[in-house]
Amino acid sequence: MGTSVYSMIGSSGLHAAGFSAHLESRLSGAGIPDVKVFVFDDTVVLATAKRTPSGARYDSVQMKLLSPIEGMSGQGTAPGEGLGGITGTDKSAHDNLSMAAERITGFMGGGEVRVLTVENELAVQLIDKIRTEATADKLSPTAIADDIRALLELAVQGTK
């Protein structure tokens, strides 16, 4: 069974608290904490107050060391990597925001989704405020639009 969001259609509670909250739950379940998600159309805004190291993925040296198919006791080759090896040049980021962006792209089915990231406490607060305003008894389209605009401005500045 697939692990993309679309393969989970029909799963219990897929959109129980909204699509953004569902993605936050999936990130948390994958060991990526403290990342707020705001989704609109095919764009996802990921926000955190502070980037923190995440243990959700090992670096390449640890992956090769712990792999059952690599190293001296390996039983074959790693898919797509041949015999592998260790170069010591792991440049991937292992913080919660970078890993969340990578996971969201995987959840959503690849390159058709635009993921914006921002490390800013105000962005986290704006996402919470947008959610609160959107479910309020007295809906204020102007306030929601202003907050979404402010969030996107922060996200565009934060995504380089």
| Mean pLDDT computed over every residue of the chain | 76
90-139 confidence digits (pLDDT tens): 445 678 898 899 888 888 776 788 999 999 999 999 999 999 999 889 98
Q: What is the pLDDT of residue 76?
A: 53
Instruction: Say if residue 151 is exposed, middle or buried (CB neighbours under 10 Å; 0-12, 13-18, 19+).
Output: buried
Task: Enumerate the β-bridge partners of residue 45.
Answer: 38, 116
Residue ranges of the domains in the chain?
14-55+94-160, 58-92
